[in-house]
């Protein structure tokens, strides 16, 4: 039986690392990409010591198109036929209203969540089409459907991920390539720390008094989606903790 090769962006922590551990336990061949080389190499050593997985690690910033193209075109032969692409790299920056936010934060989110995802997808997809097999898993968010104050561009980038995933399905009709958009609600990882520029106290307040989802919860869901029979495609999977739900429409009422 052929061993599947899984390419994971943003693999050095959080959901990406949890997915790497889950796929490694299943014996998959892994390509792990991320910006933090020390963490990537530590994860590679961990996985190769505790699982049958073979792991190739790449220091990669998905915002750099030339680097993405080079990394994927120069993969060792053993890792070059990518069966599952997990576009996990992404981030939120700040929580200020649109008229106060730093434009650099907007650019950072678009560059990573949209352009980075496009660069990696475009580099990997031709090989999948040539082999007539593959599964692209995109990391979306409930923020792409349900906006919230301060979400502005982050919500917009995740709405793009959702719609781009559906459009890929339309383009790939007639092939054996699947596309899934995973859309979690609140997941406790380093996500909030990144959003608040390393302010751990402010990040902890996001999850205070409630039980969020974990990175392992999302990894379980992704493993389920990718293990379905080849004729079975999960288009979109929305997940939320029980403690999170939907609020009423916002209405600002005059006080006089």
Report yes or no on 94 lying in a domain.
Answer: yes
**Is residue 199 one of the residues assigned to a domain?**
no
**In a 3-state reduction of DSSP, which class is residue 57?**
strand
- Environment class of 15 (CB within 10 Å of its CB; exposed 0-12, middle 13-18, buried 19+): buried
Enter the tokens of residue 145: 């459907």
**Number of folded domains in the chain?**
1
Q: Residue 174 gets which letter from DSSP?
A: T
Q: Per the domain annotation, does 247 fall within a domain?
A: no
What is the side-by-side strand order in the sheet with 84-87?
Answer: 55-59, 29-34, 5-8, 84-87, 134-139, 177-184, 236-239
Residue 64's Cβ-count burial label (10 Å; 0-12, 13-18, 19+) is middle
Nearest-CA neighbor of 136 among 92, 90, 198, 182? Answer: 182
- CB-based contacts of 117, cutoff 8 Å, min separation 6: 62, 87, 89, 90, 138, 161, 164
Kind and range of the H or E run holding 53:
none
Identify the pLDDT of residue 1: 52
Q: Within the chain, where are the H helices?
A: 14-25, 37-50, 65-73, 103-109, 117-131, 152-171, 191-195, 200-206, 215-226
Distance of CA 120 to the CA centre of its chain: 12
**Residue 156, phi then psi, degrees to nearest 5:** -65, -40
Indicate whether 128 belongs to any domain: yes
pLDDT tens, position by position, for the chain (256 residues)? Answer: 578 999 999 999 999 999 999 999 999 999 999 999 999 999 999 999 998 999 999 999 999 999 999 999 999 999 999 999 999 999 999 999 999 999 999 999 999 999 999 999 999 999 999 999 999 999 999 999 999 999 999 999 999 999 999 999 999 999 999 999 999 999 999 899 999 988 999 999 999 999 999 999 999 999 999 999 999 999 999 999 999 998 888 899 998 7
CB atoms within 10 A of CB 247: 7
The answer to whether residue 148 sits within a structural domain is yes
**Within a domain: residue 246?**
no
Token pair of 58, please?
A: 């790449």
CATH number at residue 14: 3.40.50.720
Residue 27 is part of which domain span? 5-188+214-239
Tell whether 14 is covered by a domain. Answer: yes
- Catalytically active residues, by annotation: 154
Burial class, 145, CB count within 10 angstroms (exposed 0-12 / middle 13-18 / buried 19+): middle
User: Residue 138 corresponds to which tokens in the numbers above?
Assistant: 């995109």
Query: Could you tell me if residue 248 is inside a domain?
Result: no
* pTM across the whole model: 0.95
């Amino acid at each position: 039986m052929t061993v599947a090769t899984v390419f994971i962006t943003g693999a050095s922590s959080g959901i990406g690392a949890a997915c790497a551990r889950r796929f490694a336990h299943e014996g998959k061949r892994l390509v792990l990409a991320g910006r933090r080389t020390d963490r990537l190499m530590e994860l590679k050593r961990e996985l190769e010591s505790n699982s049958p997985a073979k792991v190739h690690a790449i220091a990669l910033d998905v915002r750099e198109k030339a680097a993405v193209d080079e990394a994927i075109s120069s993969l060792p032969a053993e890792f070059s036929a990518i069966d599952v692409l997990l576009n996990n790299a992404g981030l939120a920056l700040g929580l200020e209203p649109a008229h106060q936010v730093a434009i650099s934060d907007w650019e950072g989110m678009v560059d990573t969540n949209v352009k980075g995802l496009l660069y990696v997808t475009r580099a990997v997809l031709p090989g999948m089409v040539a082999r007539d097999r593959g599964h692209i898993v995109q990391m979306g968010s409930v923020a792409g459907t349900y906006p919230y104050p301060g979400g502005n561009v982050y919500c917009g980038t995740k709405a793009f991920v959702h719609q781009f995933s559906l459009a890929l399905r339309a383009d790939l009709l007639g092939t054996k390539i699947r596309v899934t958009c995973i859309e979690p609600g609140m997941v406790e990882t380093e996500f909030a720390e990144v959003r608040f520029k390393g302010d751990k106290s402010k990040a902890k307040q996001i999850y205070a008094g409630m039980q969020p989802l974990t990175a392992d919860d999302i990894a379980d869901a992704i493993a389920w989606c990718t293990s379905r029979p080849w004729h079975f495609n999960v288009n979109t999977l929305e997940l939320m903790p029980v403690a999170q739900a939907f609020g009423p429409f916002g209405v600002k009422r005059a006080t006089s």
